[in-house]
Amino acid sequence: MTVSIEQQGEIAVVTVDNPPVNALSQALRQGLLDAAERLDADPSVKAVVLACAGRTFIAGADVGEFGKPPQPPHLPDLVARVERAAKPWVAAIHGSALGGGFEVALGCRFRVAVPSANVGLPEVRLGIVPGAGGTVRLPRLAGVETAVDMVTTGAPLGALKAREAGLIDAVIDGDLIAGAVQFSRKALGRPLPDSLRDRPVAAPAEPFWEATEKTVAARAKREEAPMKALACVRRAAETDFETAIAFERETFLALRGSPQAAALRHVFFAERAATRPPELAGVQPRAIKSTAVIGGGTMGAGIAAALRDAGLPVVLIERDDAQVERGLANLRSIFDGAAKRGRISAVVAAERMAGVTGTADYAALADVDLVIEAVFEDLDVKRDVVGRLSAVCRDDAVLATNTSYLDPERIAEGIGNPGRFLGLHFFSPAHVMKLLEIVPTQATTPEVLATGFALARTLNKVPVRAGISDGFIGNRILKVTRAQAERLLLSGGTPTAVDAAMRAFGLPMGPFEAQDLGGLDIAAFQRKAARARGDTPFAPIADRLCAIERFGQKSGGGWYDYEPGERTPRPSETVAAIIAEEAAGFPHRDWDESSIAECILWPMANEGARILGDGTALRASDIDLVKIHGYGFPLWRGGPMHYAEASGLDKVVDALRALATAGLADPPCELLLEAARRGSFSGVFR
Ligand code: 3HC
Ligand code: NAI
């Protein structure tokens, strides 16, 4: 870390260099404080430009320090020191000025930025509120409405929008430092504006707060930070500066140690660890400029939409002309739906479709860079398709399968140049869900694997590397979840109670509602295949429902009954009777919400430990990302592995042993026991 000072006439340029993102570590805070003292004492300096080396302006407080006690100098004191400097400071922003970085910029008298820069207060995304005056200075600069919007969503603003909103004084084209120095010289010739602490803030009337509280609460659901951030802005509007600063700091410090903040920090670092596998450092991915998708059903259309959303042209292949038309219609309905909901304009929707070529002729694939197959989940069909791809595509084209359960090694058997083949497992709806499981075969080359990760970045997805096993990471845990849900029914639970308990835990849907929505037939098909291989999947009740064609909403009933044309689940007498028959002889118990949740969650962590043990996942945190970004596990719970760890692995082990004794779960596996001995998954597997 360095803070260097260079003088250009009467303007001093302070340059921060703390790679990778100039985060405000203790050493950097001290370095900046020293610079402020020194520059105030130097009579030859009339103004100060604060700039950063590397890819970005200061990206915020050092998140890595959050688990430890705060060390002086504290950030609020640094911002206050810059604000009351004897000479005006000008923040010269490139990249991102986020969180504490933007708060330092708010302490400066002026802010200038290159057009590509962005500024924001994303703290709520880490389960906290700004802790260095952001909620107090921002409304004084840009008004309460803008401040509320920015601090409760955490969304950054691009430089041009920030200029319009008054957050930035000038947008500088060309050399940022030269422009900032020039801006400072001009500013010295004019009366200085008040620093933000001395500016007034217009307090909105009660109805504004009432309406805003409702909106923010509805958006935040169970996340604590957005409502607290709103309370901070309100305090800033309704009390004096110092009182509001003290309230914000107190709120920040309280949230910093909260379970939600710990979970969200865990996810922050998990996402970064998953994105850059160390073994691929320095490996160059292949350029992907053109793509194709085989199969225009549920997944193929979603994958094609995701590719088009990222600006890539797509060839969509189907079995025959009629199926091509159906596939294109599926895709069109995705874009039209986005346009109807106002996500994109009708013009953009049309552009997205214009970049799709639908055909049944594989010759159209002769020159594409990447092909993803999403045809029926049938080994013979997939092998036939992949064989045709390997014959028709360029030798360096990357070929991928979206299979859910089949073995990619078997799908690729016999193809020419197998090093270019891998699994790219998207989640439904593929243009929405952020997870991409990346599944290399033995033969997949590092370059092709790196291309999978690069593709995830292009598509704005979270990549997780998964090994080959039945269901990879996510669906393997899903099977356990479903089996546990059935065990709950056999021992006195009801679908309604189980679903309600899991919603209360924070899932968007309970396991039975989710099955009814997705259809019970897919899992039944998969169980049939597993039984043919000699496995013994546990689904006594689901098997009986499928036998009477209760496949879920699409067949008018599954775990619940549905009125024609309705999606509201209603308890089903038929299902209750089947449960009663299957449960005969099984010991019943009284389940409450928390014991139901534990009966599902601890076995998930146990399966996660097995998944780590056999190398299907590289890190416990990867499993968390899979469940969060592929299955709606609440982000603020940090994923099943983090949640188990945060709850105490000893407690999890004891609970699993008790469930196992009652025949309600598998006993804890050896690797979970080992993690419990250490108190953490880290070090054991990661
Ligand atoms: N603290 C510590 N490390 C950080 C960090 C931070 N605030 N922000 C990023 N990093 C690290 C990442 O962990 C990663 O490390 P690695 O290379 O070892 O994996 C490295 O910097 C690069 O990060 P990205 O991969 O995310 O780089 P990108 O170029 O894709 O994105 C970015 C850059 C937009 C700045 C992005 O990193 C980001 O959004 N960072 C977080 C910003 C943030 O949340 N700031 C607020 C912090 S809370 C705060 O300031 C509280 C205050 O109010 C008191
Ligand atoms: P689907 O049945 O909706 O679509 C499959 C499509 O493939 C059909 O349109 C069919 O006409 C087409 N097709 C079949 N054979 C073909 C061939 N030889 N050439 C060209 N097109 C052909 O199935 P869905 O749900 O889209 O699944 C596709 C794949 O994605 C499967 O492997 C499935 O396991 C996997 N998957 C499914 C998920 C889901 O939630 N539905 C989630 C993740 C993966």
Residue tagged active-site, from 10, 37, 123, 325: 123
Q: Residues 570, 589: one domain?
A: yes
CA of residue 21 to ligand 1 center, whole Å: 6
In a domain, 208, yes or no: yes
| Ligand closest to the CA atom of residue 330 | 2
The residue whose two tokens read 């002026």 is 110
In a domain, 120, yes or no: yes
| Ligand closest to the CA atom of residue 23 | 1
Q: Residues 559, 660: one domain?
A: yes
Kindly state the helix (H) or strand (E) to which residue 504 belongs, with its residue range: helix 495-505
Quote the CA–CA distance of 589 and 493 in Å, as a whole number: 8
SS (H, E, C) 440-483: ECCCCCHHHHHHHHHHHHHCCCEEEEECCCCCCCHHHHHHHHHH
Q: Which atom of ligand 1 is nearest to the CA of 129?
A: 53
| Ligand closest to the CA atom of residue 261 | 1
CA of residue 99 to ligand 1 center, whole Å: 10
Mean pLDDT of 337-348: 96
Relative orientation angle of helices 134-142 and 144-153, to the nearest 10 degrees: 140
pLDDT digits over 278-294, tens only?
A: 889 999 999 999 999 99
Cis peptide before 278 (omega within 30 of 0): no
Quote the CA–CA distance of 286 and 550 in Å, as a whole number: 46
Q: Residues 579, 613: one domain?
A: yes
Mean pLDDT of 332-344: 96
Q: What percent of the chain has pLDDT over 90?
A: 95
pLDDT higher than 50, residue 13: yes
Q: Which of 204, 232, 256 delimits the end of a domain? A: 256
Q: Which domain holds residue 349?
A: 288-465
User: What token pair was written down for 508?
Assistant: 């968007």
In a domain, 524, yes or no: yes
Q: How far is CA 36 from CA 26, 47, 61, 65, 72, in A?
A: 15, 11, 19, 23, 16
* Residues forming a β-bridge with 371: 292, 399
Residue 663: which of 603, 592, 612, 604 has the closest Cα? 603
Residue 480: which of 351, 588, 366, 631 has the closest Cα? 631
Q: Look at the chain and report how many structural domains it folds into.
A: 3
264 lines ligand 1 (CB under 6 A): no
Q: Which atom of ligand 2 is nearest to the CA of 302?
A: 26
User: What token pair was written down for 501?
Assistant: 């308990």
Cβ 482 vs Cβ 603: under 8 Å: no
In a domain, 341, yes or no: yes
Ligand 2 binding pocket mutation candidate from 294, 298, 315, 324 (most atoms within 8 A of CB): 298
Q: Residues 455, 478: one domain?
A: no
Cβ 230 vs Cβ 171: under 8 Å: no
pLDDT digits over 605-619, tens only?
A: 999 999 999 999 999
What was the pLDDT predicted at 685?
61
Q: Residues 460, 483: one domain?
A: no
Relative orientation angle of helices 474-490 and 620-631, to the nearest 10 degrees: 70
300 lines ligand 2 (CB under 6 A): yes
Q: Residues 320, 200: one domain?
A: no
pTM of the predicted structure, to 2 decimals: 0.94
Quote the CA–CA distance of 568 and 8 in Å, as a whole number: 69
- List strand residue ranges (DSSP E) for 79-145, in order: 89-93, 96-98, 110-113, 118-120
Cis peptide before 76 (omega within 30 of 0): no
Relative orientation angle of helices 446-458 and 259-275, to the nearest 10 degrees: 130
In a domain, 265, yes or no: no
pLDDT digits over 472-522, tens only?
A: 999 999 999 999 999 999 999 999 999 999 999 999 999 999 999 999 998
Q: Which of 407, 441, 465 delimits the end of a domain? A: 465
Q: Residues 461, 479: one domain?
A: no
Mean pLDDT of 195-204: 96
What was the pLDDT predicted at 686?
44
Residues 6 or more apart from 537 whose CB is under 8 A from it? 479, 483, 526, 527, 530, 531
Q: Which residue has the higher pLDDT, 252 or 277?
A: 252
| Ligand closest to the CA atom of residue 275 | 1
CA of residue 299 to ligand 2 center, whole Å: 6
Mean pLDDT of 109-121: 98
pLDDT digits over 571-606, tens only?
A: 999 999 999 999 998 999 999 999 999 999 999 999
21 lines ligand 1 (CB under 6 A): yes
In a domain, 566, yes or no: yes
Q: What percent of the chain has pLDDT over 70?
A: 100
Cα Rg of the chain (Å, integer): 28
Residue tagged active-site, from 103, 224, 486, 513: 103
76 lines ligand 1 (CB under 6 A): no
Residue 81: which CATH number?
3.90.226.10
Q: Residues 211, 335: one domain?
A: no
CA of residue 416 to ligand 1 center, whole Å: 42
83 lines ligand 2 (CB under 6 A): no
Relative orientation angle of helices 144-153 and 225-238, to the nearest 10 degrees: 160
56 lines ligand 1 (CB under 6 A): yes
161 lines ligand 1 (CB under 6 A): no
CA of residue 281 to ligand 1 center, whole Å: 19
pLDDT higher than 70, residue 254: yes
Quote the CA–CA distance of 319 and 295 in Å, as a whole number: 8
| Ligand closest to the CA atom of residue 125 | 1
Cβ 368 vs Cβ 344: under 8 Å: no
Ligand 1 binding pocket mutation candidate from 1, 18, 21 (most atoms within 8 A of CB): 21
Identity of residue 350: A
**Other C-beta atoms lying within 10 Å of the C-beta of residue 675:** 28
317 lines ligand 2 (CB under 6 A): yes
504 alpha-carbon distance from chain centroid: 21
271 lines ligand 1 (CB under 6 A): no
323 lines ligand 2 (CB under 6 A): yes
Residue 400: which of 306, 478, 476, 492 has the closest Cα? 306
CA of residue 59 to ligand 1 center, whole Å: 6
Mean pLDDT of 261-267: 97
In a domain, 360, yes or no: yes
Mean pLDDT of 48-75: 94
Residues 6 or more apart from 414 whose CB is under 8 A from it? 383, 387
Question: What is the DSSP pairing of strand 47-52 with strand 118-120?
Answer: unpaired
CA of residue 636 to ligand 2 center, whole Å: 33
What was the pLDDT predicted at 67?
78
Q: Residues 249, 341: one domain?
A: no
Quote the CA–CA distance of 222 and 234 in Å, as a whole number: 20
Ligand 1 binding pocket mutation candidate from 29, 57, 63 (most atoms within 8 A of CB): 63
> According to DSSP H, which parts of 108-224 are helical?
134-142, 144-153, 159-164, 176-188, 206-220
DSSP 526-583: HHHHHHHTT-----HHHHHHHHTT--BGGGTBSSEE--TT----EE-HHHHHHHHHHH
Active site residue 103: yes
Q: How far is CA 494 from CA 86, 561, 581, 611, in A?
A: 69, 14, 14, 29
Residue of the nearest CA to atom 14 in ligand 2? 375
What ipTM did this prediction achieve?
0.95
Residue 418: which CATH number?
3.40.50.720
The residue whose two tokens read 């439904």 is 428
Residue 502: which CATH number?
1.10.1040.50
Residue of the nearest CA to atom 17 in ligand 2? 319
Q: Residues 385, 508: one domain?
A: no
Quote the CA–CA distance of 107 and 234 in Å, as a whole number: 20
CA of residue 264 to ligand 2 center, whole Å: 34
Cβ 99 vs Cβ 24: under 8 Å: no
Q: Which of 211, 239, 256 delimits the end of a domain? A: 256
Residue 388: which of 54, 614, 380 has the closest Cα? 380
Average pLDDT of the chain to the nearest whole number: 96
* Residues forming a β-bridge with 437: 425, 464
296 lines ligand 2 (CB under 6 A): yes
Q: How far is CA 585 from CA 81, 393, 492, 572, 595, in A?
A: 73, 59, 11, 22, 21
CA of residue 296 to ligand 2 center, whole Å: 7
Residue 370: which of 462, 454, 466 has the closest Cα? 454
272 lines ligand 1 (CB under 6 A): yes
Active site residue 573: no
| Ligand closest to the CA atom of residue 324 | 2
564 alpha-carbon distance from chain centroid: 36
Quote the CA–CA distance of 407 and 424 in Å, as a whole number: 12
What was the pLDDT predicted at 41?
97
Cis peptide before 508 (omega within 30 of 0): no
Ligand 2 binding pocket mutation candidate from 375, 382, 426 (most atoms within 8 A of CB): 375
CA of residue 18 to ligand 1 center, whole Å: 12
In a domain, 263, yes or no: no
Phi, psi of 423 (to 5 degrees): -90, 135
pLDDT digits over 350-391, tens only?
A: 999 999 999 999 999 999 999 999 999 999 999 999 999 999
pLDDT higher than 90, residue 1: no
Q: Residues 314, 451: one domain?
A: yes
Q: Residues 328, 374: one domain?
A: yes
